[in-house]
Every structure is written in C-alpha cells, then in structure tokens.
Amino acid sequence: MSQPTFSIIAPIYNEIGNLDELHRRISETMAKAGGAWEFVLVDDGSTDGSSQRIAEIAAGDDHVRPVIFARNFGHQIAVTAGLDYSRGDAIVIIDSDLQDPPEVILDLIAKWREGYEVVYAGRADRAGESWFKKASARFFYRLIDRLTSIKIPLDTGDFRLMDRKVVSVLNSMREHHRFLRGMSAWVGFKQTGVEYKRAARFAGETHYPFRKMLQLALTAITGFSFFPLQVASYLGFVSAGIAVIAIPVVITLRIMGNQAFFGQATTLLAVLFFGGVQLISLGILGEYIGRLYDEARGRPLYIVRDAPETPED
C-alpha cells in the first residue's frame, strides 16, 4: 500500500475478546475519515491467541499491519513500536479494549485538519473503573503536574492524534523508560484537546495493576524531574540547621543542670529517623542510576518476532 494519510496504532496484550470488535469499529470509523488509512496492531507478547487472531485479521484486510513482539515489553514500548512502523501523516494511538471509543478519532482528525499537531483526548468521565483506580489516576496526574516542569494535560491517557512532524521527533527519542504522554507534551508544537467519555472495557480485565501504575508514575517523575534527587540536600540542610541551633541549647541546659536530654530514647529516635531518611535517599538515587544503567547498555527497545516489513520500508 502506498503512503496512507492516517495510521491507527493499537497495542495488544491478551485482548482476544476485543480484537474483532475493535477491528470492526475502527474500520467503520475510518471509512468516514476521508483518506487512506492503515491499522498497526502491535502484539505485545500475548499468550491468549491474540497473535494468531491478529494474523487472521491482517490476512483478510490489507489496511491491517501486524507487528508481533518476541515477548511482553509493556504498553509504552508497544506503542513506541507502533509509532516506528506507522507511515501516516496523522497518527492516532488508541487502546485496544475499546475504553477509548474509536468514533472519537473523527473529532481528533477534525482538529488536525484545523492545523493542530497534537490532539489529545481528555477523559471527561470514566465508566466501569474502580474507585481506587480513578482516585490513584487522579493523584498520579496531579503529582506529575507538581513535580515536573512540563505541562502534561490533566487526565489524558495515550489516546491522541499526532502529526507526522511530532512522531518523527518522538521516534528520534530512544529512551528506554518511556512516558509517551510526557514526551509528546515535552516536544511542544500546536496542541489542543477534545473531551470524551471513557467507556468501560468491552471484554477482559485491566493489565495495569497498582504495581505497574506505580512503575509508570516513577518513569514519569524520573524522566521529567530532578526534584527527588534534590530532596536529600533539602533535608540535609534542614537537619544540619536544627543541629547547629540545638547544640548550644543542649550544652547550656546541661551546664544549668537540666536533665531533659538524658537517656537513650532521643538518641535512638534520631538514629532511626536519619537512618530512614538516608536509606530512602539512597533508594531514590538507585532509581535514577538503574535507569541510567538501562540507557548505557543500549539494548533495543523491543524485539520483533514477525512483521511484514521493517519500519523504514
């Protein structure tokens, strides 16, 4: 197929119950988009037969380009591969569980035609998700907003349209620990948003348990902020300051015969407190160093077992 106008990217991890419905609704929507399109399905090491189903769908529809990973590499990496393989002038990232209604793509395209280069879809409402998931997502977006200098629109996921110009820049950013929402805000360009109601999953269950959300939050924070590294020096200045004031006070009290600072409890508490602070600071350092190490090794971001062609073709 020659150069399509639109590329739709969907990362797939064990979504066997959603694939056909996703394909049907994307095809229906894109028929109204007014332009040639391709549908890049990235199989992120599924073990439920999704890979085979993707191959079958691709065999019956030449809009579909399957990229099959050798193992599970994670959502952000799957989307990255989709960006590498897509060839359109406008590229849309969408979840494969139909939580992002494919019909919203038409609104994204309308904004792109107005001249915007990044059109993100904001979640006005989230259906079918637990209280805990919503509250932690809310907290997560606000924390990142406070800690980092880039302005990531609140309550947006990866569901967005990006112009080829933006995707070319993103494709040149080969960091291993990726937070695409942050990266696509960081690059600048003309950005705008549309609102949509986030639906419940069509089938299956979330692959983002709390542990993975925490990992993503750490990636977002370490990827866009040095603040956690500086916390140790702030705490150091504060505790050194307290010590400088406390030393003459304690000496004076002792000389005057006051017994307020006798005993082990004060010593023990101070040792525990500062031991804790130091270990936490070391842990924070470790987070950054581990990430540095991953970058230094320079391994590929993902390994493809099967794809019709290389990204450059």
12 binds, among Mg ion, ligand UDP, none (CB under 5 to 8 A by kind): ligand UDP
Residue located via tokens 């002038």? 89
309-to-23, 34, 66, 163 alpha-carbon distances in Å: 21, 26, 10, 22
156 binds, among ligand UDP, Mg ion, none (CB under 5 to 8 A by kind): none
Residues 186-245 interacting with ligand UDP (rule: CB under 6 A): 206-208
Tell me, residue by residue from 8 to 27, as one string, x for binding to ligand UDP by CB under 6 A and - for no binding: ---xxx-x------------
Nearer to ligand UDP, 12 or 152 (CB): 12
By CB under 6 A, residue 99 contacts ligand UDP = yes
- Residues touching ligand UDP, count (CB under 6 A): 16
Nearer to ligand UDP, 54 or 119 (CB): 54
By CB under 6 A, residue 75 contacts ligand UDP = yes
13 binds, among Mg ion, ligand UDP, none (CB under 5 to 8 A by kind): ligand UDP
By CB under 6 A, residue 96 contacts ligand UDP = yes
By CB under 6 A, residue 78 contacts ligand UDP = yes
Which one of residues 97, 117, 158, 163 is an interface residue with Mg ion (CB under 5 A)? Answer: 97
CA-to-CA distance for 128 and 121, rounded, in angstroms?
Answer: 18
CB of 238: closest distance to ligand UDP in angstroms?
38
By CB under 6 A, residue 136 contacts ligand UDP = no
Nearer to Mg ion, 8 or 284 (CB): 8
Binding-site ranges for Mg ion (CB under 5 A)? 95, 97, 99
Rule CB under 6 A: which residues touch ligand UDP? 11-13, 15, 44, 72, 74-75, 78, 95-97, 99, 206-208
